[in-house]
Amino acid sequence: MSRPDLNLLVALEVLLAEESVVGAARRMRLSPSAMSRTLARLRETTGDPLLVPAGRGLVPTRRALEIRDRVSQLVQDAEALLRPAGEVDLAALARTFTVRAGEGFVETFGPDLLARVAAAAPEVRLRFVQRLDRDSGPLRDGSVDLDVGVVGAGTGPEIRAQALFRDQLIGVVRAGHPLSRGPVSAAAYAAGHHVEVARHAPAGHAPGPIDGALEQLGLEREIVAVVSGFSTAIALARTSDLIASVPERHTASVRAGVHGFPLPLPLPGLTVSLLWHPRVDADPAHRWLRGQVRDACAHQRQLMGRAGHPEDARSEDAASSAE
């Protein structure tokens, strides 16, 4: 029995990711006709149609869905195996890294991170995507290289995590708002109208730690608007009497012109971590990028430390020495 052409694995991975012959051809720098012929060979080799017409597009068959993750993993493992070991030549490194992070991270830490990367590796590109949940699937299937956020129940047990910094929720109101004129009590905070950030609630509002802390005090807040991101919540608070509750450090660069105050509630802090899959743990280029992210966060921590947040310096000094 003849051995299958393993080059077909790369084409199969791209076809299943794009679900489009034209899109796959573009990624592989082939003509659509050549990509179509490759799909025909894959169908003959696997004995399955793999992609079938649906309206004006293509959809994967059940067999294609079953093997998609395995194919992606095989291709990534092969790329890692064939990649030269040892120190990486940053000046010649030409890769695109996908970084998944919550809203505010790019605005606050992105400029410094991009400057560091460009100075050392001018051919490296960073692609930022929104972190809408804590599922480890994108790290597992390789569609994301690095994840930045809070470790949660959806984080796989195999995922590597390293603490970057501590964050905390603060209240945000417009300049001149009654809550901007002095210490804020829990009762005064609860009495206002609130804008809440909820990315996944299908309707209404899902109670969170703030509501639980208020309930312990016999208080309840009135949420009059629900938005999908912190920047939007801050924008509404800036031009109305609404109160937004947002992470302090993640939103540092988008809170110009508003008043922030500590929430008068016993809320735990948030540990923001850097997460990656163990298969890239020893990849020199990936390891270098992880260091750049840590350095960018540490630099911003130093700026905040000078502004009166010394606890951030302690937490990130420990993180930067862990790898």
Do residues 200 and 280 share a domain? no
Do residues 162 and 278 share a domain? yes
- Sign of torsion, CA 23 24 26 31? negative
- Here the CATH number for the domain that contains residue 247 is 3.40.190.10
Residues 280 and 286: their CA atoms lie apart, in Å, by: 7
Residues 65 and 307: their CA atoms lie apart, in Å, by: 51
- Spatial CB neighbours of 260, under 8 Å, sequence gap ≥ 6: 170, 171, 172, 248
For residue 147, is it within any domain? yes
Domain span at residue 204 reads: 169-262
Do residues 175 and 158 share a domain? no
Q: Are 14 and 71 in contact (CB under 8 A)?
A: no
**Coil, strand or helix: which one is 69?**
helix
- In the block, tokens 């606890």 appear at 311
For residue 1, is it within any domain? no
User: Once rounded to an integer, what is the mean pLDDT over residues 11-32?
Assistant: 92
**Coil, strand or helix: which one is 53?**
strand
Do residues 20 and 139 share a domain? no
Percent of the residues in the chain that have a pLDDT greater than 90, as a whole number:
61
Total count of domains within the chain: 3
Do residues 254 and 308 share a domain? no
Do residues 182 and 258 share a domain? yes
User: Once rounded to an integer, what is the mean pLDDT over residues 60-87?
Assistant: 83
Q: Using alpha carbons only, how large is the chain's radius of gyration in Å?
A: 24
Domain boundary among 82, 105, 131: 82
Q: What is the pLDDT of residue 323?
A: 54
Burial of 247 (C-beta count, 10 Å sphere; 0-12/13-18/19+) = buried
Q: Which of 166, 179, 149 is nearest to 249 (CA)?
A: 166
Domain boundary among 51, 82, 113: 82
Over residues 147-189, the pLDDT tens digits come to: 998 887 778 888 999 999 999 999 999 999 999 998 999 999 9
Q: What is the pLDDT of residue 320?
A: 38
Do residues 182 and 103 share a domain? no
The more confidently predicted of residues 189 and 106 is: 189
Question: pLDDT at residue 122 above 80?
Answer: yes
| Residue 164 structure tokens | 């970057």
- Here the CATH number for the domain that contains residue 27 is 1.10.10.10
Q: What is the pLDDT of residue 252?
A: 87
Domain boundary among 262, 278, 297: 262
| Residue 85 structure tokens | 């070991």
Helix/strand/coil percentages in the chain, nearest 5 = 45, 20, 35
Over residues 250-281, the pLDDT tens digits come to: 888 889 899 999 999 999 888 999 999 998 98
- Spatial CB neighbours of 233, under 8 Å, sequence gap ≥ 6: 172, 195, 196, 197, 227, 244, 246
Residue 8: phi and psi, rounded to 5, are: -65, -25
For residue 308, is it within any domain? yes
Do residues 162 and 174 share a domain? no
Do residues 178 and 253 share a domain? yes
For residue 225, is it within any domain? yes
